[in-house]
Structure 1
């Protein structure tokens, strides 16, 4: 009994000693540190001690560069390049709009390229851009070992400065070890500056090479040609009038390295086609989608699907089409593009559907941003595949115009605009025959979503929302140059006095019922009329 009492007293004594002694150890350590910092020598000693601890911490690997998969990550930002860019001043620097004069706003500035080439030529080829990413992107780490990429840039009659600025932005804002090559694929351009002059200029960049098609192929086959010679682990497609932004490439390659069946797209910012100001798209991070007429659109992400961190990648049903990266082998496993696709528009659906059906995924990457010039109009001829026309009346020698047209408004005749490029630019007197056998204002790549419409044998011809169901929007073009409307059984006519366009009893000999389609693709027009009784 006495032995147990003795052990109990010893335990109590030990506990009291700890309570008294341990706090004093802490106080003594605090006192000693303050004493060291009290004098000059003491301050230096304390600083050295802290520096030694900091250096020791630096020598040890940071825990946050390893994740659950055990792979090492790193910060890919080029801090020195970012600092130098931030100091740049001048026309267009930091992505600011160029101050335009009246002389620089003339129509001719847009004719050859669909954007103001005069302004483009006055901006540095390696101009600085604003970092408009979410702030969280600055601290994101990506795999230390990333696949390299072949960057494919197809072009046709591209402007000199806009093409070179695309290449310079990629070279200056991409880690060199990640760029296997830049492949410029010339789709049969006929402008002199894109021949020997371009080859001489690009000779200074060992990673850049130029391929040329032997005839006009169109966007898709030109991309396929570039992809077929690519040597990189990943293929990255860009348009020929883009500007890559800060640290744009590692976030794309990181997602593919994690899952080779992922196609990734950067956020596409807007470079103004007039003053070249750089800004984000309205709504910014939104998912790609399409309506039943296959028009691409961007829609908000539902709240329940939004990521807690807005800078994280998110899935998208379809891509915008022009700018994306894909594992090279996976691209060919998907079959690449359908080589029968002729013009811009629609190829993004084909590749998107393949991805989802073959067990892949598609993601938009907010921390990767690339600016893109959206042209005012398409300046070059479309190779084949679509009937593009201006509709001129034989009797009056005037053209159908939609300059002031809106859904529900009747069509009227106007003086014919000279030159196809100008008409295409303004979408005033250019019309497209769609595969639905309706007629839509605009060139094939920018048709508006309303159609020629009429409801009876004597009603006016109006513009109305396209429904794609034929009926009152179904038109046939006859060998007698009449525009026949099967539902009403009448033909399109016009008045010579007030230039109204309306339906009337067919009279093929009447000049006001005869319409000339200028700049048509005769092969497509023939297919369009294949089942016509006229």
Structure 2
């Protein structure tokens, strides 16, 4: 009897212990979460769930969705924590404090942005995470295709090019980067030759291709695409900064539909002070007017989604930054090789995608900063042809095209002896202010000089006005002398 009583007492004790302990498992979990959440060694994962550093670098374990696809959190919380602790010039995407010496014209001449400021900001600088809060909770496919990142460049600044590469490698899961291909479009700057080769030796995934002559943006991109080995091709400009977890949202959409071309949201890096911020009217889709001028317009209310962090369709893309399945890109025929520097290529690809049963999407949870130049610092391949058609409307700027189909890019010049380039028309006069004179010259009040031509070099540039110089005389067709005189008199 004593043995049976002893066993009964032992069983009763275990039962009582279980009844006391089990209800407190939830209390222990709550206590554990609170302690870890207040610990300096943790950061919030999806839904605010704390992730212990060192135990779970890439977030939560994979989850199986209703479609049977295993998805996981791709955030690199170690990298996010390191970025959050950084301080210094331009860190956290803050504007660099400019002095008058920093604003000298020479700082912009070669790149179209302030290279002096760029050189004083870390190549690994941190950026603000300005995604919608819902993006921090999203899971993406556990098995995503890898990608070749293609970055074409021509005479790009040293620090801006390297910062582009560093940001891509720093903020992308390594297993998703097959390679980074830098395609040099016949640059003549010394820092982009041997020095660049030697620097990139430390980055085994980076390789450099070079054109044998000046090809222009599109043929340079095609060279990179032809050499790409990744399952997906991702095109970036050479003065960009990839933001937190930018790549998985793009690749996930292509994994779901290989005929999708996807674009990140393009943030603005200020060309003066390198401050990083979102574009005005962030969630807007691409469109164009009858002059084929690209613009962004609000999404109609009936097409807006309840969750603004969800991908949305767009008629056309901006053109510079996007990802596409490599085989699908070539099935579409790639780019038309007759396209030159920029303008038109985004329409060509966009139209072919829609006509061939594909999709064009913008991905709000993928963000990449981009420097919008103050002006375009280089000339087109072969120079600007003197036989080119220009529209000399009765306005202060000069626009490319014929009178019925003008493109909204204008003649732009910055100083005496500077080349004449094409830049988006801004309507603010300044560098784009011109006067049409009776001696058939085109006068530029900002530089106090006239447009001159160099037939041997096939280019146009600013030079001291000389009424007797044939190279400064331009043929104006369909002019109205009375209106022209009134126009010049009003300018004076």
Normalised to the residue count of structure 1, the TM-score between the two structures is 0.68
User: Which of 373, 376, 379 is the matching residue for 2:374?
Assistant: 376
Deviations 1:339-359 (A, max 9, x none): 000121111011000000000
Query: Do 1:388 and 1:432's aligned partners in 2 also have CA atoms closer than 8 Å?
Result: no
Distance 2:26 2:143 in 1: 41
User: Which of 333, 341, 344 is the matching residue for 2:331?
Assistant: 333
Query: Do 1:153 and 1:183's aligned partners in 2 also have CA atoms closer than 8 Å?
Result: yes
Structure 1 residue 444 corresponds to structure 2 residue 422: yes
Structure 1 residue 111 corresponds to structure 2 residue 109: yes
User: Which of 371, 387, 401 is the matching residue for 1:434?
Assistant: 401
Q: CA deviation at 1:381?
A: 1.3
Alignment: residue pair count: 400
DSSP-derived class of the 2:422 partner: coil
Deviations 1:136-169 (A, max 9, x none): 0011000000000000000000000000000000
Q: CA deviation at 1:445?
A: 3.8
Deviations 1:67-117 (A, max 9, x none): 232010000000111011101111100000011111111111111111010
Cα gap change, 1:501/1:99 in structure 2, threshold over 3 Å: closer, same or farther?
Answer: closer
Gap runs ≥5 in structure 2: 1-15, 33-54, 413-420, 435-441, 443-469
Distance 1:48 1:132 in 2: 32
DSSP-derived class of the 2:379 partner: coil
Distance 1:49 1:326 in 2: 44
5 Å-filtered alignment, 1:385-400, equals: 386-387=384-385
Distance 1:113 1:205 in 2: 25
Aligned to 2:415: none
Query: Do 1:484 and 1:491's aligned partners in 2 also have CA atoms closer than 8 Å?
Result: no
Q: CA deviation at 1:483?
A: 3.9
Q: CA deviation at 1:324?
A: 0.1
DSSP-derived class of the 2:367 partner: strand
User: Which of 141, 150, 161 is the matching residue for 2:148?
Assistant: 150
Distance 1:72 1:178 in 2: 16
Distance 1:479 1:101 in 2: 40
Structure 1 residue 71 corresponds to structure 2 residue 69: yes
Max Rg structure: 1
Distance 1:307 1:189 in 2: 45
Aligned to 1:202: 200
Distance 2:254 2:87 in 1: 36
Cα gap change, 1:276/1:46 in structure 2, threshold over 3 Å: closer, same or farther?
Answer: closer
Deviations 1:193-247 (A, max 9, x none): 0000000000000000000000000000000000000000000000000000000
Q: CA deviation at 1:444?
A: 3.3
Query: Do 1:75 and 1:141's aligned partners in 2 also have CA atoms closer than 8 Å?
Result: yes
Query: Do 2:411 and 2:423's aligned partners in 1 also have CA atoms closer than 8 Å?
Result: no
Q: CA deviation at 1:386?
A: 4.8
Q: CA deviation at 1:446?
A: 1.8
Distance 2:313 2:27 in 1: 52
Query: Do 2:376 and 2:422's aligned partners in 1 also have CA atoms closer than 8 Å?
Result: no
Distance 1:195 1:48 in 2: 58
Aligned to 1:486: 478
Normalised to the residue count of structure 2, the TM-score between the two structures is 0.74
Aligned to 2:448: none
Aligned to 2:292: 294
Query: Do 2:254 and 2:260's aligned partners in 1 also have CA atoms closer than 8 Å?
Result: yes
DSSP-derived class of the 1:378 partner: coil
Query: Do 2:61 and 2:73's aligned partners in 1 also have CA atoms closer than 8 Å?
Result: no
Cα gap change, 1:133/1:486 in structure 2, threshold over 3 Å: closer, same or farther?
Answer: same
5 Å-filtered alignment, 1:133-532, equals: 133-384=131-382, 386-387=384-385, 431-436=398-403, 441-442=411-412, 443-447=421-425, 481=473, 483-486=475-478, 500=489
